[in-house]
Amino acid sequence: MRTPLIAGNWKMHGTVAETDERIAALLPRLSTVDHADVAICVPFTALQAAVDSTRGSQLGVFAQNMHHEPQGAFTGEVSAPMLAELEVGGVVLGHSERRTYFGETDRALQLKVPAALEAGLQVILCVGETEEEREKGDTERRLRHQVQEGLEKVPSDRLGDVILAYEPVWAIGTGHVATLEQAQDALAFVRALVADRDKEQSKRSRILYGGSMKPDNAADLLALPDCDGGLIGGASLDVSQFTAIVEAVPRS
Ligand SMILES: O=C(CO)COP(=O)(O)O
């Protein structure tokens, strides 16, 4: 009932030329994929090129950030209506790199998530604990705070539209993937947090795992009961690896 989603987060990789080249290599390899949604999250400067070259295909295009206001005196920022105008399909919000390096706060996300939905964008809201928080036994407290704040201003009937990505910070870019038990526990906990707001909506919520997902561990992670897909960093830059992860999605 929930269509799995494999989303490649390219981060700050991809000139327009590289984007065109990677998409041209990717599209033929996705032509037989009908068991999962697939998307790429590209830098702002590559969005137009990505939208143009994926038009009519099954490959979605996401941005990696946006401001909550539709317009205003916010030098250097880009708004949700601006992304929607480009026909971008969605936006990644609250990635741990934005939280760590750019001061992204749960309070800002509280405004960004509903603003994105209002503009017709899909949202992937990222949550996840640091290594220190896990070691201190604070994983659930951290996830609760991030999920509750991020969803606080989302109307109840739209809760199930928000895609959540559980990305333990210690697993991102480290090759140190969560164990299947750690991943399932956290994914189920995130779903339970949505259920606290609305049980029916939580059954619609797509919850992704992210953090060192690679072709050799993807099938096991994607088979977890509460895993509805993956948010892939490094491996999404390699067309063969990314395609292999898409192929690892269980066909139900
Ligand atoms: O941050 C990530 C996706 O958003 C995960 O990155 P890696 O797959 O490189 O660990």
- Domain ranges, ordered by start, for the chain: 5-247
Half-sphere exposure (CA, 13 Å, Cβ side) for 147? 31
By most ligand atoms within 8 Å of CB, the mutation choice from 40, 41, 212 for ligand 1 is 212
Q: Report whether residue 212 contacts ligand 1, using a CB cutoff of 6 Å.
A: yes
> What is the DSSP code string of 67-121?
BSSSSSS-TT--BHHHHHHTT--EEEE--HHHHHHH---HHHHHHHHHHHHHTT-
Series of mean pLDDT values for 10-residue runs along the chain (252 residues): 96 98 97 94 98 96 98 98 98 98 97 98 98 98 98 97 98 96 98 97 98 98 98 98 97 83
139 lines ligand 1 (CB under 6 A): no
pLDDT of residue 98: 98
* Catalytic sites, residue numbers: 95, 167
In CATH, what is the architecture of 5-247?
Alpha-Beta Barrel (3.20)
How far is residue 170 from each of residues 30, 66, 209, 214, 230, measured CA to CA in Å? 30, 25, 13, 16, 16
State residue 252's pLDDT score: 76
Select from 217, 108, 227 the least CA-distant residue to 171. 217
- Structure token digits, residue 193: 């947090």
